Every structure is written in structure tokens, then in C-alpha cells.
């Protein structure tokens, strides 16, 4: 039987809003990048151009959200983990969360650099064009492409691990860990 967590053991409403809104943005954006990069990599169609535009418009906004989320996290302590969680699991949680935060910055930053070395504009949310982070440098395009793709895969793996861990707590262990973020 699941036990109901008191409010002090749950994440705050703001933390939950950051978590779920970023999940609702990042997961579809990751899938969109995968689709454009892997399913239709050589297609030169208006559909691909539109999908890339959407991906590039929203990507830099993730940096803003992540920085705001990090400020929130630094000024508002998360709920303590249950004393029943073994030390190695606590370490895995900390490493996983650090990796997620790092990749939520690295992936869009490498995308920003990627557009920069291509000499392309860096739009954000159909509002503003961001300044390039690097000069146009075609020689670096392959390297930056690999960095963006690799970091995207790392982010995807971390997200999958995060989701699997949450589901294992909910349906495997039948504990209330997942309830902290619901």
C-alpha cells in the first residue's frame, strides 16, 4: 500500500512547473531533432526546413528555462530523500540530476554554436535573433555537429533513465518517490 507524502516531502509547485514544462518542451524537441537528423537527413524539403526552424527557435529557450530552474533550485531546497534510500542510489540520483542539468545547457549551447559556425541566424521563440557564439567557420562544422548529436544522445539516455527510474519506483517498488513530483 502506498503511503501519502506530507507536503514537506514534495517538490514545490514552481519546481513541478519547471520539471513538467521542460519535459513537455525537451522530449518533443529531442524527438523532432532525431526525426530531422536521422529519418530525413538528406531531404531538402519545405517540411524539413519548417521542422528545423521549429527546433532552432525553441532550442535556445531551453537555456533560459534551465538557468531560471537552476536559480530556483539554488534558492529553494528540494525535499529530502527518504532515509530508506541506500547511499549508492542517492549518489546515482545526484549524478543523474547533475547530468540532466548539464545536458539541458550543453545540448542547446552546442546547437547555438552549430548555427554560428554554419553562419546561420540563431532565432529564439520567434522574438529575437541571438548573437553568434562563434565566427562562421566551415572547418569546425563536422566537429560541432558531432558534439551536438553526441550530447543530444546523452540527454536522451539520461531522460530515458530518469523516466524508467520513476516508473520502477511507482510500479516496481510501489513507493511514493514519484509522488514528490506529481
User: What are the beta bridge partners of residue 122?
Assistant: 130
Residue with cell 513530483: 181
User: Hey, which of 47-51, 90-94, 100-104, 175-179 has the most confident mean pLDDT?
Assistant: 100-104
* Interval 38-62: pLDDT, tens: 877 777 888 888 998 999 999 999 9
Task: Output 25 or 174, whichever has higher pLDDT.
Answer: 25
User: What are the beta bridge partners of residue 129?
Assistant: 123
User: Hey, which of 7-21, 99-113, 124-138, 164-178 has the most confident mean pLDDT?
Assistant: 99-113
Q: Domain spans of the chain? A: 7-75+85-181
Residues 6+ apart with CB under 8 A from 55: 29, 32, 33, 36
Rg (CA), the chain: 19
Is the pLDDT at 85 greater than 90? The verdict is no
Superfamily in which the 7-75+85-181 domain is placed by CATH: Transmembrane di-heme cytochromes, Chain C (1.20.950.20)
* Average pLDDT score over residue span 103-119: 95
Give the C-alpha separation, 170 to 173, whole Å: 6
Provide, rounded to the nearest whole percent, the portion of the chain with pLDDT above 90.
60
Picking from 170, 162, 11, 29, the residue whose alpha carbon sits closest to that of residue 78 is: 11
Q: What is the mean pLDDT of the chain?
A: 90
- Between CA 118 and CA 125, with CA 119 as vertex, the angle to 5 degrees is 95
User: What is the reported pLDDT for 2?
Assistant: 53
Cell triple for 44: 531538402
* Average pLDDT score over residue span 10-35: 94
Amino acid at each position: 500500500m502506498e503511503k501519502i507524502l506530507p507536503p514537506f516531502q514534495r517538490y514545490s509547485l514552481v519546481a513541478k512547473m519547471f520539471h513538467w514544462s521542460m519535459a513537455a518542451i525537451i522530449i518533443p524537441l529531442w524527438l523532432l531533432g532525431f526525426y530531422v537528423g536521422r529519418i530525413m537527413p538528406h531531404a531538402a524539403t519545405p517540411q524539413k526546413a519548417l521542422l528545423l526552424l521549429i527546433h532552432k527557435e525553441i532550442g535556445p529557450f531551453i537555456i533560459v528555462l534551465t538557468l531560471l530552474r537552476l536559480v530556483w533550485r539554488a534558492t529553494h531546497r528540494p525535499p529530502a530523500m527518504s532515509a530508506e534510500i541506500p547511499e549508492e542510489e542517492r549518489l546515482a540520483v545526484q549524478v543523474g540530476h547533475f547530468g540532466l542539468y548539464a545536458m539541458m545547457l550543453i545540448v542547446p549551447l552546442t546547437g547555438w554554436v552549430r548555427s554560428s559556425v554554419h553562419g546561420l541566424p540563431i532565432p529564439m521563440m520567434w522574438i529575437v535573433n541571438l548573437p553568434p557564439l562563434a565566427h562562421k567557420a566551415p572547418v569546425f562544422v563536422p566537429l560541432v555537429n558531432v558534439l551536438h548529436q553526441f550530447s543530444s544522445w546523452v540527454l536522451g539516455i539520461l531522460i530515458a533513465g530518469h523516466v524508467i527510474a520513476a516508473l520502477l519506483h511507482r510500479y516496481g517498488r510501489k513507493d511514493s518517490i514519484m509522488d514528490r513530483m506529481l
